[in-house]
Amino acid sequence: MNTKQKLIILSITAATTLFTGCANTTPQYMGANTTAKHQPLTMGIDRQDFEKAATESIESLLRGGALNKPGGGRYVIMMGRLINDTTQRIDTDMLMKKIRIAMLQSGKAVVTTAVKAGGAEDMSTYEVRKLRGNSEFKQSRIAKKGSLIAPDMSLGGKIMQRTAKAANGNQIVEYYFQLTLTHLETGLAFWEGETVIGKSGSNDTVTW
């Protein structure tokens, strides 16, 4: 084998090693999340993560029977606070909205928009009541006093992030989606759920 052939082989080997090393830095799901249909494009929280957290949460909630109201009927749920304890600016309403839709479609609960942690979600409920006594409006169509339905339960929780370094130098990021359904009359938690999503990737890949 001449010198030129040796140089070609060495170049190919070096390129292969470099390519393999770079491939390992691509963000990957860890643990049970490795069965996901698509691998993450980022170390941060993406749409697929919200989908997984919402799906697992609502399946656990419905399976646990916390929304099975004794005597039939549907519980009225208000949205509590979903605290973002991560390094990212994320829209927590995205996760809550998916869970709300699933609860409504289950037929076991309704969601009030007149009461929410931090203030009413939709002020229209209160704006229409300001029309009482306004002669321009047919008063029989205006909501009467005492007609609002107080919520039975609240749904809130926290999204937490934990970061560590792996033995190979990559970073490991875990996201904990924790939710609690609280019975407002008694203050008791009727249901709690947690979804953990772990990712591994290069330290050069930021999480925000």
Asked whether residue 116 is assigned to any structural domain, the reply reads yes
Range of the domain at 59: 27-201
The DSSP annotation for 18-87 comes to HHHHHHTTS-EEEGGGGG-SS--SSSS--HHHHHHHHHHHHHHHHHHTTT--TTS--EEEEEEEEEEESS
Closest CA to 78 of 166, 1, 149: 149
Asked whether residue 113 is assigned to any structural domain, the reply reads yes
Q: What are 2-44's pLDDT values in tens digits? A: 555 544 444 444 444 433 444 456 888 887 766 666 788 788 9
Asked whether residue 192 is assigned to any structural domain, the reply reads yes
Domain tally, the chain: 1
Which pLDDT value is given to residue 15? 40
More confident residue, 7 or 161: 161
Asked whether residue 128 is assigned to any structural domain, the reply reads yes
Measure the CA–CA gap between 8 and 20, rounded to whole angstroms: 18
- pTM of this structure: 0.79
Asked whether residue 150 is assigned to any structural domain, the reply reads yes
Asked whether residue 104 is assigned to any structural domain, the reply reads yes
CATH of residue 68: 3.40.50
User: Residue holding tokens 């390992």?
Assistant: 24
Measure the CA–CA gap between 68 and 134, rounded to whole angstroms: 42
Asked whether residue 2 is assigned to any structural domain, the reply reads no
